[in-house]
Amino acid sequence: MAGLMTITWDGIEFNGPYQIHSWTKTNVAGVYAIMARENSPEGSAGFSLLYVGQTADFGKGDFPDHHEKYLCWLRNCGGEEENMYISMHDERYEAKRFLLESQLIKRYHPICNRA
């Protein structure tokens, strides 16, 4: 059985990345990273961090399409939704979610977290 895909941001392991519209929402709390897929001249893929957020329930509401920063994410993915990815770190404790979100924003300065 294949293991789950993971990506690490500042030493914190996240599930994913998954294309944002092929990702299956779950009713858990956590911190999430929105990323743009970038291809290098050598043909390998990498990701740039666009936004870090937290939620009490990934399954609630119309996330991601109606998120206030969705257009920023899309713009920074070259206008192509297939280049937009998400990764999640499950964390049920609200104080810890806010701490991790703040830590990652401070470390990476994601473009869509800026004013």
18 touches 32 (CB < 8 A) = no
Residue 11 domain flag = yes
**d(Cα 100, Cα 55) in Å, to the nearest integer?**
12
- Cα end-to-end span (Å), the chain: 43
Residue 1 domain flag = no
| Domain span holding position 12 | 6-113
Count how many domains the chain has: 1
- Classify the phi-psi angles of 10: left when phi > 0, otherwise alpha if psi is within -120 to 50, otherwise beta: left
Could you report the per-residue pLDDT of 74-86, keeping only the tens digit for each? 999 999 999 999 9
pLDDT class of 64 with cuts at 50, 70, 90:
confident
User: Residue 72 belongs to what H/E stretch?
Assistant: helix 70-75
Does the pTM of the predicted model rise above 0.85? yes
Q: What is the mean pLDDT of residues 31-56?
A: 86
**d(Cα 111, Cα 115) in Å, to the nearest integer?**
9
Q: Which domain CATH number covers 45?
A: 3.40.1440.10
Query: Taking the mean position of all CA atoms in its chain, how far away is CA 105?
Result: 12
